[in-house]
Amino acid sequence: MELLRLATAGSVDDGKSTLIGRLLYDSKSIFEDQLEAVERTSRDQGAEYTNLALLTDGLRAEREQGITIDVAYRYFATPKRKFIIADTPGHIQYTRNMVTGASTANLTMILVDARNGVIEQSRRHAFLSSLLRVPHVVMLVNKMDLVDYDEAAYQKVADDFRAFAAKLDIPDLTIIPISALQGDNVVHRSENMPWYEGSSLLHHLENIHIGSDQNLIDVRFPVQYVIRPQSDAFHDYRGYAGTVSGGTIKVGDEVMVQPSGLTSRVVGIDLFGEELQEAHPPMSVSVRLADDLDISRGDMLCRPHNHPHATQDLDAMVVWMQQGTRIQEGNRYIIKHTTRTAKTIVKDLQYRLDINDLHRDEKTTSLGLNEIGRLTLRITQPLFVDEYRRNRQTGSFILIDEASGATVAAGMVVDTDV
């Protein structure tokens, strides 16, 4: 069975909870004891209907304040696929949480109220999906029951959204008219909208092709850990353990090691005693080479004529994630990229990007919580990077505050030729 990771985001009244509740309920992924607990709490809070948001708003503060603090992960499965939903709230922490959820997603679901059309929030959702290079986007025109299942109403919203999406980088966009409340086009095709010829949401989620979401061309293998058993049975064993981050590695392939530039040949790919002929993303394996080279954590295996850019200067889009502090020129951080950790200094803040109208504010001197900007970083040692649009693993990094240890920013490499 395949696994699909999806991210959703939205505010309380766009029907997101209802939609997720319906997906979970119709796939029998809500359990009786969970539903009973939610019904009981809803009643205790004086609500007239069962508040499905309570299913995962499990923290005390969330229950007391009726808000969602954080990314919640929910799991459901159909006979065809297993799904992980990263469900992010719509309030002020929204950008930070949606970026987190989208970073690992194959697909994002954007909900729009058919009566209100494409609003600022829908544009933000679309922009962040594009910034994080989520391969598939599904835009749901919800509450179709409230516009009498009118095709023209749907068409207007869909056209508006397509016009905006055309300015972004969204590889695969699908638009579906639904009513989460009534169940139209959620699990089954709706009889109320015969003019809609596409599939239901669930059918789409079950069948969308995700096999090519990974980069299968450029071989990238960041060395995570060196396995040396020092036992009699495996006296000379030396395996380079890691997760394939791009391309397919085959036994017999010639590989190059960064930073040394030395080359060797793959003689074995191991997984717990099983000898594989090849490995592809995101498999975790152990690679043996023909030659005894000096390779350690943080090194990169790639191909002699196809390797990432080794650079100490990065040009990147950065999302600031910490409350109460700002990032500006001259600030120093720890940078974590694949299996390398180094120190970095902000050389230049080029602009702040307004995610509502995509305007570039070049006068800005710092970025605060949930702000996004493009900056240049200087790093203490070379990192082996690809542009994020080519590879989400070798093109991404996080910044860590040295004093507190907090993760303060997420970064995506824009250009490797600084």
User: How far lies 149's CA from each of 20, 40, 189, 195, 295, in Å?
Assistant: 21, 34, 13, 10, 62
Q: For residues 255 and 265, give the distance between their C-alpha atoms in angstroms, rounded to a whole number.
A: 6
Applying CB under 8 A, which of residues 167, 228, 265, 389 lies at the interface with another protein? 228
Site string for another protein, 251-280 (x = CB under 8 A): -------------------xxxx--xxx-x
284 binds another protein (CB under 8 A): yes
Q: How many residues are given for the chain?
A: 418
248 binds another protein (CB under 8 A): yes
Applying CB under 8 A, which of residues 166, 197, 230, 324 lies at the interface with another protein? 230
User: How far lies 166's CA from each of 154, 172, 267, 385, 414, in Å?
Assistant: 18, 11, 46, 28, 19
Subset of residues 334 to 373 that bind another protein, contact rule: CB under 8 A? 334, 336-337, 339
In the complex, the smallest distance separating the C-beta of residue 312 from another protein, rounded to whole angstroms, is 19
Nearer residue to another protein within complex by CB, 89 or 373: 89
User: Phi, psi at residue 237, to the nearest 5°?
Assistant: -65, 130
Q: For residues 116 and 36, give the distance between their C-alpha atoms in angstroms, rounded to a whole number.
A: 34
Stretch that binds another protein, among 118-126, 197-205, 208-216, 307-315 (CB under 8 A): 208-216
Nearer residue to another protein within complex by CB, 117 or 268: 268
234 binds another protein (CB under 8 A): yes
Applying CB under 8 A, which of residues 241, 251, 342, 418 lies at the interface with another protein? 241
Handedness of CA 347, 351, 353, 354 (dihedral sign): positive
Subset of residues 10 to 39 that bind another protein, contact rule: CB under 8 A? 28, 31-34, 37
Nearer residue to another protein within complex by CB, 339 or 416: 339
Residue 316 burial class via C-beta count within 10 angstroms: exposed 0-12, middle 13-18, buried 19 and up: buried
Subset of residues 48 to 77 that bind another protein, contact rule: CB under 8 A? 55-61, 63, 69-75, 77
Residue 145 burial class via C-beta count within 10 angstroms: exposed 0-12, middle 13-18, buried 19 and up: middle
Q: For residues 145 and 66, give the distance between their C-alpha atoms in angstroms, rounded to a whole number.
A: 27
Size of the site for another protein (CB under 8 A): 83
CA angle 277, 278, 279 (to 5 degrees): 145
290 binds another protein (CB under 8 A): no
Stretch that binds another protein, among 15-23, 193-201, 231-239, 352-360 (CB under 8 A): 231-239
